[in-house]
Every structure is written in structure tokens, then in C-alpha cells.
Structure 1
Amino acid sequence: MKKGDRTRKHIIMKSAEIFNQRGYAGTSLNDIIADTGIKKGGIYRHFASKDEIALEAYNYAASMVASKFSEAVDQEQSASGKLLSFFRVYENVVNDPPFIGGCPMQNTAVESDDTHLELCGQARQGMHNFLDMMKSIIRDGIQAGELKEDLDVDALASFAFSLLEGGILLSKLDGDNKHMLMNKKIFSSYLQECCLKIS
């Protein structure tokens, strides 16, 4: 990797952490300069604006979390195990989140909802990507005979994702992982009692 590419990646990585902890509005160019150790001219050599940095930083943060989800899913054989693996990635969200500052999609969506349409659009796309991943798992589970044929795939994916994101939000706000752990337990029971096909 060339020096310029390494510098650009360094800016993106450090900025992703700052934006995910402080938000877009709460992060200044001076914050990025301080955390990266790169002067203003060096930043502008690679990025035209704070907006451009923020968009690249979000993509980086989201890709890091997506990678953790993929790794967790790949370790499971059953559809229910794969769906529950999303919760395991965030079960210690208070002390050890998969990306510093919590869920990049949630943080970005909450802050940019009415203030930054492009960032909001990226968060929305991230939501759809994760929902599509869950839907694919559910469809595979139905096809394999593990999950009931009459399941509403869209509704189950939305329910799972809502429990996941709600658990992240409440646990972060309360400073206690109990909300995530309770949601994981509830979803596990739901899968066992309502979704698994009984032969």
C-alpha cells in the first residue's frame, strides 16, 4: 500500500471512531486533526470536506461490524443459531462493542435523520443490508425444514433486528448489558417455541 493510501486509510479509521462516539455535529475538523496527528493541509489533500470524511468513515465502521456479523454467522450451522449470533456480537455492548462507540448504523441514523440526508441514506442502506442478511438466513431455514413454512420472512427479520437494535440502545443508555441479554433470551425462546418446525 502506498504512503498516500495508508494516510487516507488512517484518516478514515480514526475518524470513524470519533464520529461513532461524538456524532457528526459533535466532531470538528480540529478533532480529526488532533486524533489523526495529520495537519489540515494533509487532511484536505485526501478529502474535500468533513462530509466526505464522514461518509467514508461510516462505510468503514459499518463494514467492520458487518464483518463481525459474518464471522459469527459462519460459525453456526442452524438458521436459529445464525440469527442468534447477531445478538452474541453485541451481548457485551457496554464494555466491548464490536466497534468503538456502539452501533454505527444506529448512531448515524439517530443523529442524521433530519440533518444529513446522505448520511441518513447510508444508514438506511445499512439497515436494509442487515435485514436482507437475516431474511436470507430465514429463507434457508424454511427451505431446510428447520423453520415453519408459513413464517412471514419480512416480519421475523424486522422483529429480530428491532430486538437487536433496541437491546443495543437500552443497554448503552442504561450502562448495563441486561437489556441486550434479555432480548437475546426472548428471541431464543421465540425461535424455539414459535419458529422451529416440530417433527
Structure 2
Amino acid sequence: MGKGELTRQRIIEEAAPIFNQRGFAGCSMQDVLDATGLEKGGVYRHFESKEELAAEAFRYAWARVAKARREGQDAIPGAVEKLKYSVRRFAETPGVFPGGCPLMNTAIDADDGNPLLRSLVCVAMKEWKARLVSIVEDGIAEGEIRGEVRARRIANTIIATLEGALMISRLEGNRSAVEDARESLEVMLAGIAAAG
């Protein structure tokens, strides 16, 4: 990686927490300049606009969070156990990124005013949902999960429950809602298993 690419990556890494904590509107380019120690031209040499930098910052933040949440999942045998592991990883892995979940933060921030960020969040959500759907469908195909279970419904329930619980936990300043969500989802997941 050349010097220019290293600088570009450093800008993304230092801007990502600011965008994640303050949102697109709340993060000024001066905040980015202060964090990086660069002059305006040094940042704009690598990014055409604040929107482009925010998009790259989201991609970076989400990639880090998604990787942390998936770590070790492939080694878990069985679909139900993989799903339970995913839920536990979400609930038990400390926040890997300042400001909380970049998916939720950016979705809320970009919902009404930033089509580029909104589209990136939609792609990230579809990828997460597709991963969960694939695990459920594999479980159905292997006879481990009951055939009448709807994979999309399970994926939506897991994501909505975890992200909603995360929001409540952040507002309340404790992990109770996330722990409650984990326990409830584990009960639900045990209930989709095919009778042995």
C-alpha cells in the first residue's frame, strides 16, 4: 500500500468513529481535520466530498463490526447452534466501535436525508439478513430445523430484537435489554429445532 493509500485509510479510520457518534450532519469536516491533523487539501485530495468520506467511514465501521460478530461462527456445527452463537456474539462482544452499532446509527441518521448512506445501510442489512436466512435454510435442508419455519421471519426477528435491545440498553445505560433479548432469542431458536 502506497503512502497516499495509507493516508486515505488513516483518514477513514479516524473519521469513522466521529461519523458514528455524531452522525453525518453532526460531524463537520473541521472535526475530521482536527482528528487527522491534516489540512483541508490533505483530506480533499483523497475524498471528493464529505458524503464520500462518510460512505467510506460507514463501510469501514460496518466491516469491523460484522467481522467481530461473525468471528468463529463457521466453526460451530449445526444451524441452530450457529444462530445461537450469532446471538451470543452480538450480546456478549463488547462494542468494537465507538458510538455503538454503525448499522443502526447510520440507518437512523440517513433515513430521511442521505440516499448514499441509506443505500449502504440497506446493502449491509440485506447481507446480514441473507447470512441468517442461509443458516436457517441449511438447517431446514439438513432436517435440523422444522420444515415449516420461515427463514426470512427468523432472520428479521433476530435482527430486530438485537438492534432494538441494543438501542434500549444504550438509552438505559446498562446491558439488561441485550441480555433479555439474548435469552428470549435462544428460547425461540430452541423452538425451531426439528424433533430429534
Instruction: Give TM-score, length-normalised by structure 2.
Output: 0.95
Deviation larger for 76-85 or 4-13? 76-85
Equivalent pair of 2:65/2:96 in contact (CA under 8 Å)? yes
Equivalent pair of 2:69/2:90 in contact (CA under 8 Å)? no
Equivalent pair of 2:61/2:97 in contact (CA under 8 Å)? yes
For residue 86 of structure 1, what is the aligned residue in structure 2?
86
**Structure 2: how far apart are the matches of 1:84 and 1:12?**
33
**Structure 2: how far apart are the matches of 1:56 and 1:142?**
37
**SS of structure 2 residue aligned to 1:23:** helix
CA displacement 1:19-59 (0-9 Å, x = unmatched): 11111111000000111111111001111111110011111
**Structure 1: how far apart are the matches of 2:183 and 2:123?**
28
Instruction: Give aligned-pair identity as a percent.
Output: 36
Q: CA deviation at 1:176?
A: 0.8
Counterpart mapping for 1:1-199 below 5 A: 1-92=1-92, 96-192=94-190, 194-199=191-196
> Letter of the aligned partner of 1:85 in structure 2?
Y
Q: CA deviation at 1:124?
A: 1.1
**Structure 2: how far apart are the matches of 1:92 and 1:26?**
29
Equivalent pair of 2:20/2:98 in contact (CA under 8 Å)? yes
- 5+ residue gaps, structure 1: none
Q: CA deviation at 1:102?
A: 1.1
Q: CA deviation at 1:92?
A: 4.8
Equivalent pair of 2:84/2:189 in contact (CA under 8 Å)? no
Q: CA deviation at 1:161?
A: 1.0
CA displacement 1:72-109 (0-9 Å, x = unmatched): 4224212122212333333257xx30222111111000
Equivalent pair of 1:90/1:98 in contact (CA under 8 Å)? no
Instruction: Give TM-score, length-normalised by structure 1.
Output: 0.93
CA displacement 1:112-170 (0-9 Å, x = unmatched): 10011111111111111100000001011111221101111111111111111111111
**Structure 2: how far apart are the matches of 1:82 and 1:198?**
18
**Structure 2: how far apart are the matches of 1:7 and 1:30?**
17
- When the two structures are aligned, how many residues end up with a matched partner? 196
**Structure 2: how far apart are the matches of 1:149 and 1:112?**
38
Q: Structure 1 residues 164 and 67, CA, compared in 2 at 3 Å: closer, same or farther? A: same
Aligned-residue CA RMSD in angstroms? 1.3
- 5+ residue gaps, structure 2: none
**Structure 2: how far apart are the matches of 1:191 and 1:46?**
46
Q: CA deviation at 1:180?
A: 0.7
Q: CA deviation at 1:17?
A: 1.0
